[in-house]
Amino acid sequence: MASTTNFRNGFTFEMDGHLFSIAEFQHVKPGKGGAFVRTKLKNIRTGAVIEKTFRSGEKVKDVRLERKSMEYLYSSGDEYHMMDPDTYEQFPIRGDVIGDGLKYLKENMNISILMNGSDIISIEVPTFVELKITETEPSFKGDTVTAGTKPATLETGAVVPVPLFLQQGDKIKVDTRTDTYIERVKK
């Protein structure tokens, strides 16, 4: 158990059966009455942010989260098989746990998994990935970098807007947080 004196940004604890991480906290000592801690908490599974006030010295159940690097191997149905590169242990993860990162998942890609014991909390794909364009409209002479964008389907199935001059077969760098084109990768 931990108390409010242990609170800091990023501190993770369990409350009402859910895991929360402290996004912001402020220790308040009013002139009259007892001190308290005002917090903004982020639900680790859903990403929802709530505000909660704790009495000074109130106890909470702290949680130790572990971040592991894993390698994505293959998918079968709605299960995505990962491998621990240290132990070579393989295990499946449901697609709904992976979430939006699913559209950038490529075989042999290293990903980061946040775990609470053996329970998988969340999965993070790399911030920047290099993928090949498998389908897009053809480019025409005169298309320039500033002329606009067109949709392009990548090898993982993700669709991102790209400049008009890019063609099918080009390899590009994509920001997975914002689903945006960054640059063309030299071959």
Domain final residue pick, 43, 62, 81: 62
- Full domain range(s) for residue 11: 2-62
pLDDT over 90 at 101, yes or no:
no
CB 68 within 8 A of CB 124: no
Which residues face 36 on adjacent strands?
28, 55
Q: Are residues 57 and 94 in the same domain?
A: no
Q: Are residues 119 and 132 in the same domain?
A: no
Residues with Cβ within 8 Å of residue 38, at least 6 apart in sequence: 25, 26, 28, 51, 53
Token pair belonging to 114: 């946040």
CA distances from 92 to 2, 38, 71, 75, 97 (A): 33, 39, 12, 9, 11
Tally: H helices and E strands in the chain: 1, 16
Task: Report, as an integer, the average pLDDT of 63-72.
Answer: 90
Domain final residue pick, 62, 88, 112: 62
pLDDT tens digits, one per residue of 11-41? 889 998 888 989 999 999 988 888 999 999 9
Rounded Cα gap, residues 134 and 9, in angstroms: 42
pLDDT, residue 143, reads 56
* pTM (2 d.p.): 0.69
Rounded Cα gap, residues 118 and 153, in angstroms: 35
Q: What CATH code is carried by the domain that includes residue 106? A: 2.40.50.140
Q: Are residues 115 and 146 in the same domain?
A: no
The number of distinct structural domains making up the chain is 3
